[in-house]
Each structure stands twice: as structure tokens, then as C-alpha cells.
Amino acid sequence: MFQNWKLIKDSPAIKESKSPFYLHIRDYLAEQISNKTLRSSDKLPSERILSQEFSVTRITIRESLQQLEVEGLLYRANRKGWFVTPPRIIYKPQDNQIFEDYVSAAGRLPKTETLSIALQESTRWTEEKLGVTAGKPIYSIKRKRSIDHRPVLIEEIYINPEFCPGLTQQNLNGSLTKIYKQHYGFSITSFALSMCPTALTKEIAEALEVTTGISGIAISSKRFDEAGNLIEFAREYWLHDSLEIQFQSAPLK
């Protein structure tokens, strides 16, 4: 797979370089990804085999792979190995599209899996976020969403049951927006978003089959119906290499 590495390794540019050797392997693998020798979702050989092919220790190989992981070019799936990262999905908040639609529009395969759903008491925290008084019931939903069979985000959703009684009886492995419209007669017409970098917790990382502490993107949202009612508050935890957010404002005055 890496037949031309020996020629590159023995070149004067590398022999005379003062850069750490793992960065040269990183550059070589990045070039293989760029020129499509290594394609999207390709699985790399094991670290043991890579260390043999590059004639270096497994520690050096791991440093190279981890550097590419930080840059979003490779990802590591627990107990499965290293893979070439697929292109990031583009999310444009101003388009107000649902997950299934913007993923499908990119020619990719979306999937939603409900992990848990419960009717529980609101806490002081959810009272602040959702506006439902502490002690009163709210829906709490956790879902995993995948693109092309790769888990990319975990979402935690809190919903005011006043507007959608019996929600637990619905199939939630799809669009909540469509359920609201088809079964409860209202539409989501506005929202508020906040985004920040994060490190994925053990629970989130395990659900996404990645290493605890890996970089992620946290997106919090409040969604409102046409009457201005706050219907839900949600937190999404995305893998950092799976999402690109693009926003275009209205003309400035």
C-alpha cells in the first residue's frame, strides 16, 4: 500500500530535516488521503502492520495517526481500527432543515436511533432551559444519529408535554419536527442556537464508539412554534470531524 515510502524516507529532505519523524509519516499519509490513494472510509492496516511497513515503533505510528485524528483526516473507532474520515456534512442553520433532509441532500445515508425516552420531573436546570416549572413533567429523550452507518452525534432533548401529549407512543427514530406537524398540528418556525467546542464525556464517547475526551462540537438549541411557544430544548454532541457549520446573514443594514 505504501510502496513509495522507502524512496521518500531516504530522500535528503527528510534525512536533513529537524522535524520529528512522526510528522513526516503524517505528511505522507495526508498526501495519500489528498490524492485519493486512501479514500473516504477506507480502513488502514493495524498499528502493528503500519509500524512494520514504515520501519518505526508503534509509538511513532500512533503519534502520526493521532496527529491526523486531531486534524480530522483520520478517525479511530473503538475495537475496529483507524479509518479515513468521510467529508464533513454541511449544516446551514438559516435553512432550518431537519437532519434527514440535509444529510440526504448531500447524498449520504442518515439514521436515527432512540436510546431512551422517559416522562420525568423537571429540575431547576430544565426549568431554566425549557420554562417548565421544577417538579412538573417533561419528556427526556436521548438519541444517536449516524451518517453512512458511522455514529456522529448524540442528542439529549427535553420537551414540554403540554404541546405533544402521548409523545412516547410515537416512533421517534426520525424527525420530531414531522411528528409535531403530523400528529399535533403545529410547526417549528424559529429557533435559537449556541455552539462551542467540547471534549466528549465517557458516556457520550462510548455511545459514539470513540475515545473518551476526544474533541467534539456541542450545539444547544431552543425551538419554538408559530405562536412563540418554547417546545423543546436540545443538546447535541457531534464528533469534531463530522460537521461543518455554514451561516450566511441577511443583508446588513
Read off the CATH number of the domain in which 239 is found. 3.40.1410.10
* Closest residue by Cα to residue 121 from 111, 135, 110: 135
Q: pLDDT of 86-120, one tens digit each?
A: 999 999 998 888 999 999 999 999 999 999 999 99
pLDDT for 9 = 67
Joined together, the cell numbers standing for residue 42 give: 477506507
Q: What is the 3-state secondary structure (H, E, C) of 112-164?
A: EEEEEEEEEECCHHHHHHHCCCCCCEEEEEEEEEEECCEEEEEEEEEECCCCC
**Alpha helix locations (H) across the chain?**
5-9, 12-15, 21-34, 47-54, 58-70, 99-105, 124-130, 176-184, 202-207
Per the domain annotation, does 251 fall within a domain? no
Per the domain annotation, does 252 fall within a domain? no
pLDDT for 96 = 86
Joined together, the cell numbers standing for residue 68 give: 491526523
pLDDT for 6 = 65
- Round to whole Å and give the CA distance between 200 and 240: 10
Is residue 117 located within the same domain as residue 241?
A: yes
Is residue 57 located within the same domain as residue 95?
A: no
- Round to whole Å and give the CA distance between 222 and 73: 32
Is residue 36 located within the same domain as residue 93?
A: no
Is residue 222 located within the same domain as residue 179?
A: yes
Is residue 24 located within the same domain as residue 100?
A: no
The domain total for the chain is: 2
pLDDT for 8 = 64
Print the domain residue range for 184.
Answer: 89-245
Residues of the chain below pLDDT 50: none
